[in-house]
Amino acid sequence: MSEATDVPKEIMVRGFRLMVLGRTADERGVNLQRQGRIGFYVPMNGQEAAQVGCGLALEEKDWIVPAYREIGVALSRGIPLKTLFDQFYGNSSDVLKGRQMPCHYGYRDYRYVTASSPVGTQIILAAGLAQASVYRGEKVVSVPFFGDGATSSSDFHAGMNFAGVYNLPVLFFCQNNGWAISLPREKQTRSSSLAEKAEAYGFRGVQVDGNDFSAVYKVVRDARAQALAGKGPTLIEAVTFRMGPHSTSDDPTRYRKQETVASWKAKDPIEHLREQLLAKGWITEEGIEQVQEEAKREVQSAIDAAEKAPPPEPTTLFDDVFRDRPKLLEEQRSEFMELLKEGVLRP
């Protein structure tokens, strides 16, 4: 398993702030769903170092192709917290106009591709993006994020094989969090690691401690440099653990022992980075408290703003399908508006 080397102070401090912010937002996201204020949420609790470490190792021009758990990656890319909470609520400020499930967001301006629920589909999208970037002469990488369960999908094979054959600049970032919903890693494959699967496709696989921010950052930076030097893709297996449920529709106590959860809690990635920063003298206990309080305020501010925004206008249902709405769609829109005015339909 790859080990960390020196990472600049500003990167480590920024990483700590983002990890704390991500967990704070994550915990509130779960609570909001339990309170009935949003409909669905997919937590990342325990995977902060893997997500933020990878996100900060990339450049703004690189393509991110997420699954639905990557709030840490989104924050690392600079997507505002309010923008994310607007999507969780599906309000009128939501860029996606309330059309996607919560946590299934995407933002073109940030080169952050919209997430979808089917397992593994983002892997082939990332391979295609990488090939397009090569054709255009762009010096960028594409990074699909997926879990251990996706390595059993046909899209994993197709994307890995395609990237290997064409030597594409793709960093396949697998967050091996131990569980594909309720299926444990040991029932997923007989391979001794997931990283070794890369060998079958003709390129490098690296396993890294996904709870060590510095180690993840260094591995991703190295893999990115190799990809842009024409040395092809890398499969990165970040070994971590999902501390909470797969989603707010899941009950992990039905398939997971509490002893296992407790053993991983002792490896908390935020605590690990906190101890590193204190040991280096790069942050103080007072500074840590300030980071935590700032995160709480920022999250609360984003929630307050999202809850004040009204729902999307019902007529946006007819937008964005055609550049110029055809006659039939205009007629349907007019009929829809009449029904709204008559009270037959309610927003």
Using DSSP's 3-state secondary structure scheme, residue 2 falls into strand
Task: Verify whether residue 89 is a known catalytic residue.
Answer: no
- Cβ neighbours of residue 231 closer than 8 Å, sequence gap 6 or more: none
Q: What type of residue is 309?
A: A
Task: Verify whether residue 242 is a known catalytic residue.
Answer: yes
| Sign of CA pseudo-dihedral 301, 303, 308, 310 | positive
Of residues 246, 256, 333, 346, which has the active-site annotation?
246
Using DSSP's 3-state secondary structure scheme, residue 234 falls into strand
Of residues 242, 254, 256, 325, which has the active-site annotation?
242
Task: Verify whether residue 255 is a known catalytic residue.
Answer: yes
Q: Which of 24, 72, 73, 27 has the alpha carbon at shortest distance from 248?
A: 27
Cβ–Cβ < 8 Å for 63, 281: no
| Residue 132 φ/ψ, nearest 5 degrees | -60, -40
Q: Which of 50, 6, 52, 3 has the alpha carbon at shortest distance from 282?
A: 6
Of residues 255, 256, 272, 274, which has the active-site annotation?
255
d(CA 116, CA 209): 27
Query: Catalytic amino acids?
Result: 242, 246, 255
